[in-house]
């Protein structure tokens, strides 16, 4: 599994499934952009980080609901989609970081912790791990 990009979002059976990635929401686009820079300054490669502004995230979510490609339709995780939608509507910014190892996950979480993420969840092989 490689790092996702905005143009190529990983799915499993048509459901958004970015294994090895941490999905992180912040209070605002500005804080999410600051988080992206903090991660880069902390040694995380920029090509492992994907930023979504609130309008862009909302567009992705709404667009996936209108097609057969259920990128943000997470099956039994539909509550997560509702949560992402509500946060995006309220101006939250999102950062998705490819951090497949435990050490990389710890590094990411240590760096962003001071920025008080609204939530952080890591997509593992068969589970969604809540980190913050």
* Residue 15, pLDDT above cutoff 70: no
In terms of pLDDT, which residue wins out, 31 or 4?
A: 31
For the chain, domain boundaries: 11-130
* Residue 64, pLDDT above cutoff 80: no
DSSP, collapsed to helix, strand or coil, labels residue 70 as strand
**Looking at the DSSP assignment, which residues form a beta bridge with residue 93?**
26
Q: Is 99 exposed, middle or buried (0-12, 13-18, 19+ CB in 10 A)?
A: buried
pLDDT digits (tens, 9 = 90+) for 33-56: 999 999 999 999 999 999 999 999
* Residue 104, pLDDT above cutoff 80: yes
């Amino acid at each position: 599994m490689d790092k996702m990009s905005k143009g190529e979002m990983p799915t499993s059976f048509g459901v958004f499934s970015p294994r090895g990635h941490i999905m992180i929401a912040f209070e605002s686009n500005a804080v999410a952009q600051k988080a992206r820079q903090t991660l880069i300054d902390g040694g995380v490669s920029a090509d492992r980080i994907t930023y979504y502004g609130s309008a862009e995230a909302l567009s992705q979510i709404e667009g996936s609901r209108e097609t057969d490609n259920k990128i943000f339709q997470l099956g039994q995780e539909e509550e997560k989609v509702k949560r992402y939608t509500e946060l995006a509507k309220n101006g939250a910014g999102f950062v998705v970081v490819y951090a497949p190892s435990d050490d990389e996950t710890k590094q990411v979480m240590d760096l962003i912790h001071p920025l008080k993420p609204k939530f952080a969840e890591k997509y593992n092989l068969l589970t969604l791990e809540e980190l913050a």
